[in-house]
A and B are shown apart, each in its own frame.
Chain A
Amino acid sequence: MTQDPIGRVVATELKPSTPHQFYFWTARESAVGIGAIVRVSAGGRTVYGVVTDGSAYSDLSTPMMDVLGADGDPASPPAPSARSEIRLYLASVLRQEPAEPLQPVPIGPVHLATDQDVALALRMEGYTVGERATGIPVGVYAAGGLESPVSLDCDFLLGPEAAHLNISGVSGLATKTSAVEFLLTSIFQAFPAHKGSVAAVCFNVKGPDLCFLDQPAALGAADRSLYERMGLAAEPFGDVRYFAPFRPDGVNLNTLRTNEALAANTEPLVWGLREVLDFAEVVMNKDDVDAKADAFIDFLAERVVGREFYDPSLRGKAFQVQSFADLDEFFRAIFDFMEALGKGGEVWRTHHVATIRKVRNRLSNISTRSKGLVTDDGGVNDLPWGAFRDRSVQVIDVAGLDPLAQDLVFARVVSKLREHLERRDLGVDHVVVFVDELNKYAPVDGPDTYVRKMLLDLSERGRYLGLVLFSAQQFRSQVQRRVVGNAGTAVFGRMDMDELATPQYSTLSPATKIKLATLPKGELMLRHPHFTQPIFVRFPRPAVMTGREGVERFPPSAELPFADAVARQLRSLDRRVQADAVRRAVEGRREDDVRRALAATRRSRPDDPFAYFVSVLGRRVEAERVMSPRRGIPAVAAPEDPYGP
């Protein structure tokens, strides 16, 4: 506190001090810069401000004088005297003490903020100290050799007061994904016990980005000291589960995390008919899911799928519809029945044949475009609904999925999270959902998709449930405004100048924009409800392995031949399983049967997975020999159908 002032407030008629901003000048060489936090104490009043603009000028009355002096030669030797010159800064008020009466900033000496000043300026004393503190370190404010920790208030980050975080910035330089990874680390370590438990669900939408959250990073001394300064341990996530759909072959995983060393916590994400039917709305074109189609889908969901359905007009034996294949059999029976009726055979159980066709095409479209995620044959492997563990991360790798299937994954996962949190039976009290490349899922224009509506709903109502959205995108202007607008905390990395020229950023000074446009990696600008002005912080590299390094250290294994891929799957359940034995067991079997046996093994988690697998394989093959060979689900052509072949 005894440091010398670095500047003095100046107020003139043209540049007056006001309650919200003030000017001050400094020596030519001073540590002040755009974003610096300063303190003015004078006349019984203490004001904290952040520098938002600066100017410098000399006593030169007109540029012509300089030309004359240099004799028109820019290379002429320097003059013996340096011109008198001023460094004038504009600061925006962060806080005034006392707060009332609110008055213009007094004229007085200006000091660079100390740790304590930073805490007061950002009102952090209200939530970072005491028994029920709610601070979550987000970085350090660095200026003039000082590194002051800055914390967010988790009541405003994870609810209930406010929630959600959005981060923008250009590709590769803005460190968006890294910032979210770091913040999750910080939340997991600093989230206070009195606030309960927290878990994360991350969608990996791009390459290997989030594929190695459980692997340590090799951090340099500077990064380590930043962790230390914030009281955090630089460790990877301890409890991570990876979910990836299969490739279309149904046995190789569709992810870059296929190195065998990582198999133990990498598992398939497989959904069946039931899971899809509940979210049929997602994948139907909104315009053509009319009431009639809805009614038929409801009929299928309530009366047919997953139960015994008997209709003597269709066939003598009851239907057991568990899978897409079963469903197709059911549809065929309906069409056969109506064909047999000939003219007049246009309605079955009040449902018109066109509606039935449409629903069948949509559903078959899902199973084709989501091949690998949606199984034909009932075997399901899903997130641990109801058994989420505190401080666990579930990463769902959708990077290789068709957009339609990605939408389905988003919609179902978020809806299930919501459902469970509403019923308070998810296993944790708070879930952070991380959606990277948000502009793809909630674009500013384009159709009002189910996913976009869902993200909006999440951003509007999630905070009451403990369902929190962390999202990232390059250009905030390309995301639906209400989704980003509902984020209580907004973060900005290196920004694009064109983006900064859009109206959303009109409140930023030109100097702040320049700073944003040239921000180095690892520095961010924050808006948070407690901070009256945007604040710049530095954060360390995440303590987890980057995607790029991960794929070098753990090269994805080549797509395996069918039998070997099956062996790999079984070995992830039991390391003792021998590839040769699996190969022999699978030899000559139909792939569908093998997949089914594999799914069954995964589902029941037996003590001896291989033995169980072989037994299921044997039984099912016997059982199915009597049935006609499955043919997948060929789409039925209907001329008015945009999805038809």
Chain B
Amino acid sequence: MRCRKRLIATGMAPADGLPASLTLHDDDAVIRPARLLEDPTLRTHALGESVPFDEPVAFLDGTQRMELLGYAGTAPVALVEIRAAVRQRVRGLFTTAIRERQVYLLGRRSALAAFGEPVEGVEALELPEGPAHPFRDLAEIRRTADRVRGNLELSAADAFRRVNAGWLVIDGSLSGSPTLAEDSRAIGIVKGHTTLPFDGADLEQYLHLPPAHRSSFFEPTPGYRPVVAWALRLWPWEGRDLFHGLVRLEVAPANGTPERADAISRAIMAERLPVSGGPQWDRLLYGTHTVQQYLRAE
């Protein structure tokens, strides 16, 4: 108790426990300096009132489910089911516009050979070779599942784009896809902050962003596929933790103007409500949440 008082007295930001939404993999945590595109130095921009989208908006998300089938000798074989869907909101109500599903059998080459022909509707996918440690294979399976899920989400986004030109909010980064990275009606919402774009005093400013403010926008990974990103604070964080209500938005370079950044930020702020519930409620938009519910129910 005395420590907490002291912390407050020194002007440090008190937290209410470990960030609930984070599974800390300290080995993933990196600071990858970004290139500032707005303002001479990093600053914060007040947004004022939120202003909802005045047209239909769609939300995209995907899920994966892994089942460890067993071992070929010591090599694990797993079944991974991935799903992705786009749900569109018209006048407040959601309908499903796109849904995709795939099932993969994952294992190292020898393990898949031992399994034989995969059953119908299931695609075999080989893990990269490496030391035959079962843990390593399992980690590899998880990584592969993440990757194929990402691909399925992108293909769902493409399918949606073929029939609809409206706003599409994606759970995650845009930079993984060449088409999304250039889609001026796509918005990526990144909830995790294992990669941070600044350090030193800039990082403090970035992570102390006040509610209903955004940071200057920047290019997150200079040299890679160019997108425009900035941080947005959805809920007051003080008294909770640095990451509470903090998301990173990504849009195509075409949206890289202060006016567009403000307008998109205000629209996403409006999407805080209704509160989605669950441990990630401070960052998980309700629209994305309904896609997850749909995918889980299916």
> Which A residues are within 8 Å of any B CB, using their own CB?
59-62, 65-66, 68-70, 79-84
Query: Which of A59, A60, A66, A81 contacts B92 (CB under 8 A)?
Result: A81
Q: A66-B275, A81-B274 are in contact. List 15 more A-B contacts (CB 8 A).
A: A59-B293, A60-B274, A61-B277, A62-B277, A65-B281, A69-B273, A79-B274, A80-B89, A80-B92, A80-B270, A81-B89, A81-B94, A81-B271, A81-B286, A82-B93
Instruction: Bin chain B's interface residue count.
Output: 20 to 34
Alpha-carbon distance between A256 and B270 when the two chains are bound, in angstroms = 70
Given the interface pairs A59-B293, A80-B89, A80-B92, the reply to whether A68 lies near B286 with Cβ below 8 Å is no
Given the interface pairs A69-B272, A84-B293, the reply to whether A79 lies near B286 with Cβ below 8 Å is yes
> Chain A residues with Cβ under 8 A from B273's Cβ?
69-70, 79-81
Shortest 9 CB-CB distances between A and B: which pairs? A79-B273, A69-B275, A82-B92, A61-B277, A80-B52, A79-B274, A65-B275, A81-B286, A69-B273
Alpha-carbon distance between A82 and B88 when the two chains are bound, in angstroms = 12
Q: Are A84 and B290 in contact (CB under 8 A)?
A: yes
Given the interface pairs A84-B94, A84-B290, the reply to whether A68 lies near B52 with Cβ below 8 Å is no
> Chain B residues with Cβ under 8 A from A68's Cβ?
275, 281
Alpha-carbon distance between A80 and B89 when the two chains are bound, in angstroms = 9
- Smallest Cβ-Cβ distance to A65: which chain B residue: B275
Alpha-carbon distance between A272 and B195 when the two chains are bound, in angstroms = 109
7 A–B contacts from the bound complex (CB under 8 Å): A70-B273, A79-B274, A80-B92, A80-B270, A81-B274, A82-B92, A84-B290
> Chain B residues with Cβ under 8 A from A70's Cβ?
273
Provide the main secondary structure of the chain A interface. Answer: loop
Alpha-carbon distance between A391 and B212 when the two chains are bound, in angstroms = 81
- Smallest Cβ-Cβ distance to B59: which chain A residue: A81
Q: Are A65 and B277 in contact (CB under 8 A)?
A: yes
Query: Which of B52, B57, B277 contacts A60 (CB under 8 A)?
Result: B277
Q: Does B287 count as interface, using CB distance less than 8 angstroms?
A: yes
> Chain A residues with Cβ under 8 A from B274's Cβ?
60, 65-66, 69, 79, 81, 83
Q: Does B53 count as interface, using CB distance less than 8 angstroms?
A: yes
- Smallest Cβ-Cβ distance to A68: which chain B residue: B275
Q: Within B162-196, which residues are at the interface with A (CB < 8 Å)?
A: none
Q: Mark B273-298, 1 if CB is under 8 A from A, else 0.
A: 11101100100001101100100000
> Chain A residues with Cβ under 8 A from B89's Cβ?
80-81
> Chain B residues with Cβ under 8 A from A79's Cβ?
270, 273-274, 286
Q: Which of B271, B274, B286 has the most CB of A within 10 A?
A: B274
> Chain B residues with Cβ under 8 A from A59's Cβ?
277, 289-290, 293
Alpha-carbon distance between A83 and B272 when the two chains are bound, in angstroms = 12
- Smallest Cβ-Cβ distance to A76: which chain B residue: B273
Q: Are A80 and B275 in contact (CB under 8 A)?
A: no
- Smallest Cβ-Cβ distance to A83: which chain B residue: B274
Alpha-carbon distance between A59 and B288 when the two chains are bound, in angstroms = 13
Q: How far does the Cβ of A350 sit from chain B's closest Cβ, in whole Å?
A: 93
Q: How far does the Cβ of B166 sit from chain A's closest Cβ, in whole Å?
A: 14
Q: How far does the Cβ of A577 sit from chain B's closest Cβ, in whole Å?
A: 79
> Chain A residues with Cβ under 8 A from B271's Cβ?
80-81
Given the interface pairs A80-B53, A81-B287, A84-B293, the reply to whether A61 lies near B278 with Cβ below 8 Å is yes
Alpha-carbon distance between A82 and B271 when the two chains are bound, in angstroms = 11
Alpha-carbon distance between A70 and B273 when the two chains are bound, in angstroms = 8
Q: Which of A61, A62, A70, A79 has the most CB of B within 10 A?
A: A79
> Chain A residues with Cβ under 8 A from B93's Cβ?
82
Q: How far does the Cβ of B210 sit from chain A's closest Cβ, in whole Å?
A: 15
- Smallest Cβ-Cβ distance to B290: which chain A residue: A84
Alpha-carbon distance between A355 and B290 when the two chains are bound, in angstroms = 90
> Chain A residues with Cβ under 8 A from B57's Cβ?
80
> Chain A residues with Cβ under 8 A from B53's Cβ?
80
> Chain A residues with Cβ under 8 A from B278's Cβ?
61
Alpha-carbon distance between A68 and B274 when the two chains are bound, in angstroms = 10
Alpha-carbon distance between A218 and B275 when the two chains are bound, in angstroms = 57
Q: How far does the Cβ of A20 sit from chain B's closest Cβ, in whole Å?
A: 28
- Smallest Cβ-Cβ distance to B91: which chain A residue: A82
Alpha-carbon distance between A68 and B275 when the two chains are bound, in angstroms = 8
Alpha-carbon distance between A79 and B290 when the two chains are bound, in angstroms = 14
Alpha-carbon distance between A59 and B293 when the two chains are bound, in angstroms = 9
Alpha-carbon distance between A65 and B276 when the two chains are bound, in angstroms = 8
Alpha-carbon distance between A80 and B94 when the two chains are bound, in angstroms = 11
- Smallest Cβ-Cβ distance to B281: which chain A residue: A65
Q: How far does the Cβ of A493 sit from chain B's closest Cβ, in whole Å?
A: 38
Q: Mark B92-109, 1 if CB is under 8 A from A, else 0.
A: 111000000000000000
> Chain A residues with Cβ under 8 A from B286's Cβ?
79, 81, 83
Alpha-carbon distance between A60 and B289 when the two chains are bound, in angstroms = 11
Alpha-carbon distance between A84 and B291 when the two chains are bound, in angstroms = 11
> Chain B residues with Cβ under 8 A from A65's Cβ?
274-275, 277, 281
Alpha-carbon distance between A66 and B281 when the two chains are bound, in angstroms = 11
> Chain A residues with Cβ under 8 A from B272's Cβ?
69
Q: Mark B233-274, 1 if CB is under 8 A from A, else 0.
A: 000000000000000000000000000000000000011111
- Smallest Cβ-Cβ distance to A85: which chain B residue: B93
Q: How far does the Cβ of B51 sit from chain A's closest Cβ, in whole Å?
A: 10
> Chain B residues with Cβ under 8 A from A69's Cβ?
272-275
> Chain A residues with Cβ under 8 A from B52's Cβ?
80
Alpha-carbon distance between A83 and B94 when the two chains are bound, in angstroms = 9
Q: Mark B19-51, 1 if CB is under 8 A from A, else 0.
A: 000000000000000000000000000000000
Alpha-carbon distance between A80 and B266 when the two chains are bound, in angstroms = 12
Q: How far does the Cβ of A84 sit from chain B's closest Cβ, in whole Å?
A: 6
> Chain A residues with Cβ under 8 A from B290's Cβ?
59, 81, 84
Alpha-carbon distance between A259 and B293 when the two chains are bound, in angstroms = 74
> Chain A residues with Cβ under 8 A from B287's Cβ?
81
Alpha-carbon distance between A62 and B93 when the two chains are bound, in angstroms = 21
